[in-house]
Amino acid sequence: MSRMAFFADLMGTIFARRAGKPSPFGRAPVTELCEALLSPQGEVSGMQRAREILAQYRAMSVEEKRAFFMHLAMALDIDPERVIAAASRYRETRDAADFAELSRETEPRRQELLRRLNQVPGATEELVRMRCDLLDLMEETPELKRIDPDFIHLFASWFNRGFLVLRHIEWGTPANILEKIIEYEAVHAINDWQELQRRLRPSDRRCFAFFHPAMPEEPLIFVEVALCKGIPGSIQWLLADGRTIVPDSEIDTAVFYSISNCQKGLRGISFGNSLIKQVVEDLRRDLPQVKTFVTLSPVPGLARHLKKLAAEKPEVQALLDAADAKDPSALTSHLPLLKRVTADYLLSAKRPDGLPADPVARFHLGNGAILHDVHVLGDTSVNGFRQSATAMVNYLYDLAKVEDNNENFVTSKTVAASKGVKAMIA
pLDDT tens-place string over residues 258-306: 999 999 999 999 999 899 999 999 999 999 999 999 999 999 999 999 9
Is residue 7 pLDDT above 90, yes or no? no
- Residues 117-127: tens digit of each pLDDT: 999 999 999 99
Distance of CA 108 to the CA centre of its chain: 27
* pLDDT greater at residue 6 or residue 425: 425
* Per-residue pLDDT at 376: 97
Give the type of residue at 249. S
* Per-residue pLDDT at 4: 46
* Per-residue pLDDT at 27: 72
Nearest in space to 144 (alpha carbons), one of 31, 58, 67, 83 = 67
Nearest in space to 299 (alpha carbons), one of 337, 339, 331 = 339
Dihedral of CA atoms 299, 300, 303, 306 in degrees, nearest 10, equals -50
* Per-residue pLDDT at 3: 55
* Per-residue pLDDT at 12: 52
- Residues 180-222: tens digit of each pLDDT: 999 999 999 999 999 999 999 999 999 999 999 999 999 999 9
Helix (H) or strand (E) segment spanning residue 259 = strand 253-261
- Residues 351-408: tens digit of each pLDDT: 999 999 999 999 999 999 999 999 999 999 999 999 999 999 999 999 999 999 999 9
pLDDT band, very low/low/confident/very high, at 5 (cuts 50, 70, 90): low
**What is the C-alpha separation between 23 and 17, in angstroms, rounded?**
17
From residue 130, alpha-carbon distances to 62, 69, 99, 166, 256 in Å are: 12, 10, 32, 25, 32
pLDDT mean over 338-355: 97
Give the type of residue at 411. T
**What is the C-alpha separation between 279 and 146, in angstroms, rounded?**
36
252 neighbors 291 (Cβ within 8 angstroms):
yes
Question: Yes or no: is domain 302-423 CATH 3.10.20.30?
Answer: no
219 neighbors 207 (Cβ within 8 angstroms):
no
Dihedral of CA atoms 169, 171, 173, 176 in degrees, nearest 10, equals 100
Please give the sequence-ordered ranges of beta strands (E in DSSP) within 45-91, or none if there are none: none
> φ and ψ at 198, to 5 degrees?
-65, -25
From residue 350, alpha-carbon distances to 317, 344, 361 in Å are: 22, 11, 11
Q: In what order do the strands lie in the sheet with 165-168?
A: 165-168, 205-211, 221-228, 253-261, 292-295, 392-396, 370-375
217 neighbors 176 (Cβ within 8 angstroms):
yes
Show the DSSP H helices in 311-368 as ranges.
314-324, 335-348, 359-366
pTM given for the model: 0.89
Name the DSSP class of 202: S
**What is the C-alpha separation between 354 and 164, in angstroms, rounded?**
32
Q: Do domains 161-295 and 302-423 have the same CATH topology?
A: yes
**What is the C-alpha separation between 263 and 128, in angstroms, rounded?**
8
50 neighbors 130 (Cβ within 8 angstroms):
no
Right CATH for 161-295 from 3.40.630.180, 3.40.190.10, 3.10.290.10, 3.20.20.10? 3.40.630.180
The distance in angstroms from the start CA to the end CA of the chain is 53
User: What CATH number does the domain located at 13-158 have?
Assistant: 1.20.140.90
The share of the chain scoring above pLDDT 90, in percent, equals 91
pLDDT band, very low/low/confident/very high, at 308 (cuts 50, 70, 90): very high
* Per-residue pLDDT at 160: 94
- Residues 11-67: tens digit of each pLDDT: 555 444 444 454 454 578 999 999 999 998 756 688 999 999 999 999 999 999 999
- Residues 227-268: tens digit of each pLDDT: 999 999 999 999 999 999 999 999 999 999 999 999 999 999
**Residue-range domain boundaries for the chain:** 13-158, 161-295, 302-423
**What is the C-alpha separation between 261 and 271, in angstroms, rounded?**
8
* Per-residue pLDDT at 46: 87
- Residues 65-98: tens digit of each pLDDT: 999 999 999 999 999 999 999 999 999 999 999 9
b/e string for 30-56 if b means 16 or more Cβ within 10 A?
beebbbbbbeeeeeeebbbbbbbbbbb
